[in-house]
Amino acid sequence: MVIRGRWMRLAAACALALFGAPVLAQTAFPSKTIRLIVPFPPGGSIDPVARMIGPKLTETFGQPVVVENRPGANGAIGTEALAKAPADGHTLVLLGAGTHVINALLVKNLPYDSVKDFAPIATVQRSDYALVVHPAMPVNSLKEFIALVRQRPGQVTYASSGNGNMNHLAAELFNLLAGTRTTHVPYKGGGQAMIDVMSGQVHLHFAVVVSALPHVRSGRLKPLAIGGDKRFAMLPQVPTFTEAGLPGFRLQPWQGFMAPAGTPKPVIDRLGQEISRIVMLPEITERIVGWGSQPLIATPAEFAQMMAADFAKFAQVIKAANIRLD
């Protein structure tokens, strides 16, 4: 019996050595510097978020989190770098729906699969879009605007910051849901698009609310509806599209962290929990709201569902409007 007991203890020890090693390895994460790829140049809307959250992750994990800007090809270069990185949680990317989803739908021969090659970790924030028009347009509600556009098919113009950009797709999503037809006027950036709407060269624009806010307050733009699920705190008088009579329209592009596909689930879960905790810190939330965005917390599974919904929605818009990149 003594010998049998010793053999059982030895077998248990061997099993722990064989099957417990991965668990021990996972609890040791992170074991080195974490590389956080931003697939855009410094500045913009994504880089500041990475540089805000990175130091907080360093405090928690005791390992440096180094932000690495890898711009080019509308985010595809930096995103490809993540897809090719080891799937151990030490390389992450922070990106947005405007590139990750739209690139997959419009760019031919992407060097990665936007779904299969990545593991969603956590979302950080989302931005609201608003439909804004020149103040001289003779409408004061979304219903009046839709009626006007239906009376003038193809005559009402909308500005976008480029073919295939988020506000291009927003306008075509609006056309699809409202049964309207407007004419696209693409620009090389959102700034000039906004200027030409304010000057009356173009009739309307789907703008990130915080960008349009100063011009709305000055009376140079008239907002008709907000693309979120609730009213924007700084423009409480502007209804959502649902409140204004177009319930199917919702546009709140997200930003979130991803890792290479195959990253162990315990690592994904730990990163996700920590990122979500950081986002809800009062000083972080305050900065996000100050940028005109909203904190957005989602589990990896919820994040994946959000992406799947975006793929389905924008694929339908792109097909209906026959959108192609030149």
pLDDT digits (tens, 9 = 90+) for 170-192: 999 999 999 999 999 999 888 89
Q: Which of 257, 267, 249 is nearest to 87 (CA)?
A: 267
What does the pLDDT read at residue 66? 98
Q: Which residues pair with 96 in a beta bridge?
A: 255
Instruction: Give me the mean pLDDT over the 1-27 stretch.
Output: 44
Q: What distances in angstroms separate CA 24 from CA 21, 62, 266, one per listed residue?
A: 5, 18, 11
pLDDT at 23 over 50: no
Q: Is the pLDDT of residue 5 over 60?
A: no
Higher-confidence position of 66 and 15: 66
Which domains does the chain carry? 16-126+254-321 (3.40.190.150), 129-244 (3.40.190.10)
Confidence of residue 25 (pLDDT cuts 50, 70, 90): very low
**Summary mean pLDDT of the chain:** 90
Burial (CB < 10 A; 0-12, 13-18, 19+), residue 228, is buried
Tens digits of residue pLDDT in 239-279: 999 999 999 899 989 999 999 999 999 999 999 999 999 99
pLDDT the model gives residue 2: 42
pLDDT interval class at 291 (50, 70, 90)? confident
Average pLDDT over residues 7-30: 50
